[in-house]
Amino acid sequence: MMEIKVLGTGCAKCKKLEQITENVVKEMGLDASIEKIEDIYKIMQFGVMQTPGLVVNGKVVLTGRLPKSDELRNLLTS
């Protein structure tokens, strides 16, 4: 099972990343759990200084911006 963490303090972009991640996971039929992390200290433990951030299986794959759906698909399958 893939573990996905959406890092963000609750801003609009962070919420949007969580939403599009859920949509892409569902659309692709991936076996994945999605966790939203809003605690700034936990976010900083990943070395992320700009949100939103995306962590896939323990690896930070995106910070500071929203990906397009195609890019997100690639991030989740690579």
- Give the model confidence (pLDDT) of 15-33 as tens digits: 999 999 999 999 999 999 9
* Catalytic-labelled residue, pool 14, 43, 54, 62: 14
Instruction: Look up the pTM and report it.
Output: 0.94
Confidence of residue 78 (pLDDT cuts 50, 70, 90): confident
Secondary structure (3-state) at 53: strand
Q: Quick check: is 10 catalytic?
A: no
List, for residues 45-56, the tens digit of each pLDDT value. Answer: 999 999 999 999
pLDDT above 90 as % of the chain: 95
Query: How many Cα atoms are found within 13 Å in the side-chain-facing hemisphere of 71?
Result: 8
* Catalytic-labelled residue, pool 3, 9, 11, 26: 11
Q: Quick check: is 14 catalytic?
A: yes
The Cα 53–Cα 68 span in angstroms is 14
